[in-house]
Amino acid sequence: MSQDLRNIAIIAHVDHGKTTLVDQILKQSGTFRENQQVEDRVMDSGDLEKERGITISSKNTAVNWKGTKINIVDTPGHADFGGEVERILKMVNGVILLVDAAEGPLPQTKFVLRKSLSLGYQPIVVINKIDRKDARPNAVLDEIFDLFVMLDATNEQLDFPVLYAIAKDGIAKEELEEEGTDLSPLMNKIVEHVPAPEQDTDSKFKMLVSSIDWNDYVGRIAVGRVEQGTIKINQEVALMNGKGEVKEKARATKLFTFNGLQREPVEKAVAGDIIALAGYEQVNIGDTLTDTADMTPLEYVDLDQPTIAMYFRVNNSPFAGKEGDYVTSNQLKDRLYRETRTNVAMRVEPTDSPDIYKVSGRGELQMAILIETMRREGFEFSVSRPEVLFKEVDGVTHEPVEEVVVDVQTDYSNRVIDNLQKRKGIMTSMSQEGENNRIQFRVPSRGLIGFRGEMLTETRGTGIMHQQFDGYEPYAGEIPGRNRGALIALEQGDVTGYALEGVQDRGEFFVEPGDPVYMGQVVGVNKRSDDMVVNVVKKKNLTNHRATQTADSVKLNQAKKLSLEQCIEFIDNDELLEVTPKALRIRKTYLDHNDRKRAEKQKASAKA
């Protein structure tokens, strides 16, 4: 049994082609019928994954190749979903490291590779996208080797097999000069190079829960690799947490293995296979499912802790309850706690106020995905500006620091360097690749909040930034915040073109004629550094004088529409982002101008 099973994860930086490669493996292994219509990136099943072209949660699939069953896990590439990658690596026995032939290894490549090497895996390196005009496969191979050395790879790990691929065409080859027709070289290499899982079928059944799925018919589904023993339908199995406490005992009502994109019901499964098991309502990631005759949990290493927090609160704006279906404190609380069941890298804590919850995670993107998901489900709420989580080490305050790589045209590199240095960043290296400079920095996470938007403005949209959490370091000192003030609505009503024309020289507006606004809503960004209250709902007084045609035509600048991520980056400490299924509105925490003044005075006297 053990010889015809392989468990493998595909790891890479975002956009290097993991999901596309899995698509082609599924097609070439005969998973789909010849005439079956299959959409691109079939593994990215969520709406947000399809829209953004990124993988958010890991997916399991399995194919048969010449009599060998290969379980494949497609992992996320974004650093914010690193919690997913760490768990998944525990389920497999080998990894395919995918690297773009032009971009080379990037921060996330380093992160996932470090985890894989520490678990003792010997990666298969696949250099993808060799058909790109700017591909440089030989130089990239040297960079990968240097990365292995830097991460203290053993001699066996340094002797890694290398393949060259064009994932979108379903081609892999061992030598660059070869023609290459399909993915056979890669599939054969997986069977030869990746060890079969150790199969201890004589011991009692044990499985570590690495992932959780949900099904409306059977409830929560635990996914993981059977570490030892055999499991059969209706066998009594205990669910234990990491401390060895029994959470529940039940019978395994449904048992599935993976085949292609489907979960196939089976009567039994043996050690080494990746399975899905239903029947346990209280199951969480990191729990152990074990035979009741051997009640000891499997070891589970805690994941990296969250580095960023945002406060989610019940919406209390004048428009509250008009656009969302779920608006109460209890509905918000239940939804946030439900998220932590399947998203291990996220924490939810209550605060002194029953209407406010502190949500901690790995980064702004992870928070934005949660906010967007909740918004589409019909929730209405407000969120605060992201803040980093400090920790005390020997009485000294430490803060999270990230490794940042910026690819930018040479003309703009000085602006990017100046901006990152203002944000307490330290440059570690700079290299030139064609017309671009690749600049590496170590920057406090605080300094990166709002940086991406500024960088895109400074580089005319051409800069590309990658970031990756790198550790905690002593507090780096004050970092300047937003350098432009807000334009704030004076009163409630619908925006008029007449009012906007009168104040549009004050700055850039987020609203256009006809938009409803309320007192205290941020309607634009000021040209100067201080906040300014403006009237955007003023109507033109009607007189009995006939106006000329030219007096009626209003010339307005285009309104700046911010995306969810841009809103999160823009909001300041005294502002909130109101999120509803229909709109995103930035507002002041205190809507009344006098209340804001009072709060500022109290803050100033508290500092003094």
Of 152 and 3, which is predicted with more confidence? 152
Q: What pLDDT, on the 0 to 100 scale, is given for residue 59?
A: 53
- Whether the per-residue pLDDT at 477 is higher than 60: the answer is yes
- List the single range of 68-77, 182-191, 309-318, 519-528 with lowest mean pLDDT: 68-77
Which residues, at least 6 apart from 305, have a Cβ–Cβ distance to it below 8 Å? 389
Of 391 and 340, which is predicted with more confidence? 391
Cβ neighbourhood burial of 400 (10 Å; 0-12, 13-18, 19+): buried
The band of 449, judged by pLDDT with boundaries at 50, 70 and 90, is confident
Rounded to an integer, the average pLDDT of 355-381 is 87
Q: What pLDDT, on the 0 to 100 scale, is given for residue 545?
A: 60
Q: Are 82 and 111 in contact (CB under 8 A)?
A: yes
Q: What pLDDT, on the 0 to 100 scale, is given for residue 215?
A: 65
Owner of token pair 């890298």: 345
The band of 554, judged by pLDDT with boundaries at 50, 70 and 90, is low
Q: What pLDDT, on the 0 to 100 scale, is given for residue 2?
A: 43
Q: Tokens representing 199?
A: 């199969």
| Mean pLDDT, all residues of the chain | 80
Cα 82–chain centre separation: 8
Domain with CATH 2.40.30.10 in the chain: 206-291
3-class DSSP state for residue 467?
Answer: strand
3-class DSSP state for residue 430?
Answer: strand
User: What whole-number percentage of the chain has pLDDT above 90?
Assistant: 9
- Whether the per-residue pLDDT at 454 is higher than 80: the answer is no
If residue 3 lies in a helix (H) or strand (E), which one and from where to where?
none
Beta-strand relationship, 94-100 and 5-12: parallel
Q: Which of 419, 310, 394 is nearest to 357 (CA)?
A: 310
Q: Are 256 and 274 in contact (CB under 8 A)?
A: no
Q: What pLDDT, on the 0 to 100 scale, is given for residue 1?
A: 42
Which residues, at least 6 apart from 5, have a Cβ–Cβ distance to it below 8 Å? 68, 69, 71, 196, 197, 199, 272, 273
For CA atoms 253, 258, 259, 261, the dihedral sign is positive
Beta-strand relationship, 124-128 and 162-166: parallel
Beta-strand relationship, 396-409 and 391-393: antiparallel
Report the phi/psi class of residue 177: left, alpha or beta, with left for phi > 0 and alpha for psi in -120 to 50: alpha
Give the Cα separation of 163 and 97 in Å (integer).
Answer: 10
Any idea what DSSP says for residue 260?
Answer: B
Max avg pLDDT among 63-72, 299-308, 593-602 = 593-602
Give the Cα separation of 569 and 385 in Å (integer).
Answer: 8
What totals of helices (H) and strands (E) does the chain contain, helices first? 16, 35
Q: What pLDDT, on the 0 to 100 scale, is given for residue 170?
A: 82
Rounded to an integer, the average pLDDT of 205-226 is 77
- Binding site feature residues: 15-20, 128-131
The band of 342, judged by pLDDT with boundaries at 50, 70 and 90, is low
Q: At what angle do helices 137-150 and 107-118 cross, to 10 degrees?
A: 50
Q: Are 167 and 17 in contact (CB under 8 A)?
A: yes
Which residue(s) pair with 595 in the sheet? none
Domain with CATH 3.30.70.240 in the chain: 391-474
Q: What pLDDT, on the 0 to 100 scale, is given for residue 128?
A: 87
Q: What pLDDT, on the 0 to 100 scale, is given for residue 290?
A: 85
User: pTM above the 0.75 mark?
Assistant: no
- Binding site feature residues for GTP: 15-20, 128-131
Q: What pLDDT, on the 0 to 100 scale, is given for residue 210?
A: 77
Q: What pLDDT, on the 0 to 100 scale, is given for residue 29?
A: 65
What does 305-364 look like in DSSP terms, one character per residue?
PP-EEEEEEE--STTTTSS-SB-SHHHHHHHHHHHHHH-TT-EEEE-SSTTEEEEEES-H
Q: Amino acid letter at 390?
A: F
- Whether the per-residue pLDDT at 365 is higher than 80: the answer is no
Q: Which of 579, 559, 558 is nearest to 568 (CA)?
A: 579
Rounded to an integer, the average pLDDT of 460-479 is 80
pLDDT digit string, tens, across residues 11-36: 876 666 767 777 787 777 655 444 44
- Alpha-helix residue ranges (DSSP H) falling in 424-483: 445-448, 451-458
Give domain 486-541+549-607's CATH number out of 3.40.1390.10, 3.40.50.2300, 3.60.20.10, 2.40.50.250. 2.40.50.250
Q: Tokens representing 334?
A: 């239940």
Q: Amino acid letter at 360?
A: S
Rounded to an integer, the average pLDDT of 114-134 is 85
Q: What pLDDT, on the 0 to 100 scale, is given for residue 245?
A: 78
3-class DSSP state for residue 71?
Answer: strand
CATH 3.40.50.300 fits 2-193, yes or no: yes
User: What whole-number percentage of the chain has pLDDT above 70?
Assistant: 85
3-class DSSP state for residue 499?
Answer: helix
Cα 437–chain centre separation: 26
Q: Tokens representing 361?
A: 């995670």
Which residues, at least 6 apart from 82, have a Cβ–Cβ distance to it below 8 Å? 76, 108, 111, 112, 304, 345, 362, 469
Domain with CATH 2.40.50.250 in the chain: 486-541+549-607
CA neighbours closer than 13 Å in the CB half-sphere of residue 100: 18
Q: What pLDDT, on the 0 to 100 scale, is given for residue 37?
A: 39
Q: Which of 332, 321, 316, 305 is nearest to 388 (CA)?
A: 305
Give the Cα separation of 236 and 233 in Å (integer).
Answer: 9
pLDDT digit string, tens, across residues 56-102: 344 577 788 888 888 887 665 444 445 556 667 777 888 888 888 88
What's the per-residue H, E or C state across 169-214? HCEEECCCCCCCCCCHHHHHHHHHHCCCCCCCCCCCCEEEEEEEEE
pLDDT digit string, tens, across residues 536-545: 888 877 766 6
Of 303 and 438, which is predicted with more confidence? 438
- CATH superfamily entry for domain 206-291: Translation factors (2.40.30.10)
Topology, domain 391-474: Alpha-Beta Plaits (3.30.70)
Rounded to an integer, the average pLDDT of 283-292 is 80
**Neighbouring C-beta atoms of residue 44, cutoff 10 Å:** 24
What does 359-380 look like in DSSP terms, one character per residue?
EEES-HHHHHHHHHHHHHTTB-
3-class DSSP state for residue 604?
Answer: helix
Q: What pLDDT, on the 0 to 100 scale, is given for residue 55?
A: 39
- Whether the per-residue pLDDT at 402 is higher than 70: the answer is yes
For CA atoms 354, 355, 358, 359, the dihedral sign is positive
3-class DSSP state for residue 88?
Answer: helix
- Whether the per-residue pLDDT at 473 is higher than 70: the answer is yes
Which residues in 179-191 are b (16+ Cβ under 10 Å) and which e?
ebeebebbbebbb
- Whether the per-residue pLDDT at 203 is higher than 60: the answer is yes
